Amino acid sequence: MSAPKALVLRSAGTNCEVESAHALKRAGAAPEIVHIGRFLESPEKLRAYRIVVFPGGFSYGDDIASGVVFGVEMRNRVTPELRRMIADGALVLGICNGFQILVRSGLLPATAGADGAQEASLAQNISGRYECRWTRLEVTTDRCAFLTKGEVFDVPAAHAEGRFVTKDDAVRERMRAAGQFALRYIAPDGGAAEFPWNPSGTQDGVAGVCDPTGRVLGIMPHPERNVESWHHPDWTTGTTPTEGAGLSVFRNAVRAAK
């Protein structure tokens, strides 16, 4: 079977598109990096792809708030096309700023009855500053195409607005019932993570969420920054795997897309 076509959507300020495309290629996809402007004019062109990735960075400088401008650009034309693609089995991944974009555009968490409304946000870290460090994640759902429940892996986080908050408790309960809390920060011993292992101070250690279909994932830390064995800080000890643990997110996506 041929490699599934994957799209990495960039804008002014995006800075992780090359790493994301590299991870997709390593996982067996055929990635292309394209500016969002091409699809604002002709959103139907998105249908050529089975995986769409919104990479990290600072889209449009995050001048209003993280992901807002990109999300607003998408909402009227690109978001409806993406919803049709997701219903047809396509996969969408948002990493860091990409996660913020998916939330702003209404693609996450997209709980039952949301009708495209924004139900959540990524708020400022409790520390009040940009946090950049390695974290440990645990997969907490069996409903996401990108993930395997129970898996634990290390990935670096780098964000100032990574604290997942919902509009109200009703949204949070709908997400919990649907298994949409996909990833949580954990401490090195596997227990609940406090700062700095939970860099944003997010409630319940939420590091990633999926939509009810399991085909849309938003993740705050960066799996594309741990796809080679030498990406991990312990690589010189000879104890790290032959490939970075973050690559599993992309391998799972390619497997599901095929």
DSSP code of 129? Answer: S
Q: Where are the alpha helices (DSSP H) in the chain?
A: 17-27, 37-41, 68-75, 78-87, 97-104, 169-177, 247-257
Q: How far apart are CA 246 and CA 11, in angstroms?
A: 24
144 is catalytic: no
* Catalytic-residue membership of 132: no
Identify the three-state secondary structure at position 60.
helix
Whether 108 contacts 218, CB under 8 Å = yes
Alpha carbon distance 240, 249 (integer Å)? 17
Distance CA 81, CA 133 (A): 36
Q: What is the Cα–Cα distance from 68 to 21, expressed in whole angstroms? A: 23
Catalytic annotation, pick one of 16, 96, 144, 210: 96
Give yes or no: 173 in active site.
no
- 119, 131, 161, 224: the catalytic one is 224
- Give the integer Cα–Cα distance in Å for 245 and 96: 17
Which one is catalytic: 16, 161, 222, 231? 222
User: What residues are labeled active site?
Assistant: 96, 222, 224
